[in-house]
Amino acid sequence: MIDLKALERDFETISQRLRLKGVEEELLRKVKKLFEEKKEITTKIQNLQAKRNTLSKQIGVLIRESKKEEAEKIKNEVSNIKKELEELNKKLKSIEEKLNILALSIPNIPDSDVPVGKDENDNVEIKRVGEIPKFDFEVKSHDELGEKLNWLDFKRGVKLAKSRFVVMKNEAARIERALINFFLDHNKRYGFEEVWVPLMVNETTMTGTGQLPKFKEDLFKIEDEDLYLIPTAEVPLTNLFRDEIISDLTKPIKLTSYTPCFRKEAGSYGKDTKGIIRQHQFDKVELVAITRPEDSNKVFEEMVEVASKALEKLNLPYRQVMLCTGDLGFSAAKTIDLEVWIPSQNRYREISSISNTRDFQSRRAKIRFKDGKKNRLVHTLNGSSLAVGRTLVAIMENFQTKDGKVEIPEVLRKYML
């Protein structure tokens, strides 16, 4: 959640940064109006409290001077001030509650070094790694290869569920399993502790990382239960520390987890309808870090490296891209995407997003750490390492052969014995 005190203190500067992220003027006007009302009521409360204190002192003096009638008049005045203060404090509490509700819909403030832009076309490429493969035959898409090799069964996926579900068979299923194990082992070498988490979480947990209320339409909810299917392991991993004060954060807490993920993809109608690039259910290995504020930049760079090295071990060509303000996610202050080359589309596609959310999620989830005698908000970071299905797509397309087969990357072969 955005720091409301900071926003109130420097409204014009911060609201300008929020506009770059697409925050609507109407929302900002509502917040500004509530700040003004809050300030007006707070001033009234302070003035009345000062007046009450002055009058209360006069009562004691008048009683000592045996001026009981005058003392009684002032007592009545003090009593009326007390009633007025009670009403004003109720109004103040109501305004603060309204502000807190609105704050849940306000995204994180982009870092100052995030490039300004409207959408993905304004993202900034950082570097490219690996050579794009050249083929002396007509390249097939992964869905075409998958059906021909009897690896991907889209018809039965629809029969079992609906569109954007798939049944993986034979080598596709084995590669999917191999990738999961490879990613987890790879992440462990970088000091990320493996965790197994629930695939369903409650509303408070979803709110803690920013999925609710903003992205309610994109979530699968369990009927008649306070439970949602997770859209990413970031949600349960980060919320492990919700409402906690971490006693020792000398070293960052680094976690990794494999989970199936579930998304309605409500805002992606008509996009990637063929194949498995955009599914309602998909596998992902996630990285999450909980750090002291002064460590988060270093850990962010490390997480980008972890995900990048996994792609390099698979010999997949990719590029790193800094997201612009308009393409930045709701909770993110800064994001670097890794995009892998997809030959059939002749372009790079996102396979990982590594984000630093600063104290945005920790303020919502109340995750703090002991810093001497003070409790401070942690910084939280998250990233895919990697989206398993999209990695399978990249392997199938980049390593396809002229005779219609797919070569398995060497690093995965030991996982497929």
Query: DSSP readout, 120-140?
Result: GGG-EEEEEESPPP--SSPPP
d(CA 43, CA 24): 29
What pTM was computed for the model? 0.93
Is residue 353 annotated as a catalytic residue, yes or no?
Answer: yes
d(CA 323, CA 149): 37
Is residue 350 annotated as a catalytic residue, yes or no?
Answer: yes
Name the one residue in this structure whose structure tokens are 């993202």. 123
Is residue 141 annotated as a catalytic residue, yes or no?
Answer: no
Angle, helix 170-189 to helix 388-398, in steps of 10 degrees: 120
d(CA 300, CA 336): 9
* pLDDT tens sequence across 114-147: 999 999 999 999 999 999 999 999 999 999 999 9
263, 292, 358, 364: which is the annotated catalytic residue? 263
Task: Find, among 186, 187, 190, 202, the residue nearest to 235 by Cα.
Answer: 202
* pLDDT tens sequence across 267-311: 666 678 789 999 999 999 999 999 999 999 999 999 999 999 999
Supply the pLDDT for residue 267. 65
d(CA 130, CA 316): 7
Is residue 225 annotated as a catalytic residue, yes or no?
Answer: no
344, 368, 390, 397: which is the annotated catalytic residue? 390
296, 353, 355, 385: which is the annotated catalytic residue? 353
Query: DSSP readout, 267-307?
Result: T-TTSS-SSSSS-SEEEEEEEEEEE-GGGHHHHHHHHHHHH
Mention every residue, 6+ apart, whose C-beta is less than 8 A from residue 341. Answer: 130, 132, 133, 316, 317, 318, 347, 348, 394, 398
Cα three-residue angle 26-209-255, rounded to 5 degrees: 155
77, 203, 265, 350: which is the annotated catalytic residue? 350
Please check whether residue 233 is in contact with residue 262, taking contact to mean a CB–CB distance below 8 angstroms.
no
* pLDDT tens sequence across 362-395: 999 999 999 999 999 999 999 999 999 999 999 9
Is residue 29 annotated as a catalytic residue, yes or no?
Answer: no
Task: Find, among 316, 307, 313, 278, the residue nearest to 398 by Cα.
Answer: 316
Supply the pLDDT for residue 265. 86
Residue 417, Cβ density class (10 Å: 0-12 exposed, 13-18 middle, ≥19 buried): exposed
Which ranges of 117-247 does DSSP label H, i.e. alpha helix? 142-148, 154-160, 170-189, 203-208, 234-239
Q: Which residues of the chain have pLDDT under 70?
A: 267-270
Supply the pLDDT for residue 268. 66
d(CA 224, CA 232): 22
Supply the pLDDT for residue 68. 82
Alpha-carbon torsion (301, 305, 307, 308), positive or negative: positive
Task: Find, among 274, 163, 255, 268, the residue nearest to 215 by Cα.
Answer: 268
17, 128, 278, 319: which is the annotated catalytic residue? 278
